[in-house]
Amino acid sequence: ISKVFGHGADTVMIREKAILSGKGARGLVKSRVVVEDEALAEVVGITEGHAPGARGHVDCVEIVKDQAVASAMPAVKVTHPQAQVTHEAAIGRIDPKQLETLMAHGLDPEEAVEMIVMGMLR
């Protein structure tokens, strides 16, 4: 699991790869990234299934604030008919409903954003 918070002029580059070559092998490539200010983030997650019963998943979530830019490139490859790999990637802003809920409990907007970001990176 990769968890990164980029800010200012940071450049975040994450490259992860799981090669599942044993019978029944399991693997998860998971990343959580938050970028703000003018930070850049690029996440490449690769999972390959090469054996019977191999199961893998690529899971990437990135939150973008301010002028930051994020990209996610999940890749899956299967070379055995009984292997299965999946991927999921999401890039976006903080969910306004989450903010509203926290603010209804007495947090100001900055505290609510901080709580959501830190919870994701925990």
Q: Please report, for the chain, the start and end positions of each structural domain, with discontinuous segments joined by +.
A: 2-92
Share of the chain above pLDDT 70, in %: 100
DSSP 29-82: EEEEEEE-TT-EEEEEEEEEE-STT-EEEEEEEEEE-TT-EEEEEEEEEE-STT
pTM for the full model?
Answer: 0.87
Per-residue pLDDT reduced to its tens digit, 60-101? 999 999 999 999 999 999 999 999 999 999 999 998 999 999
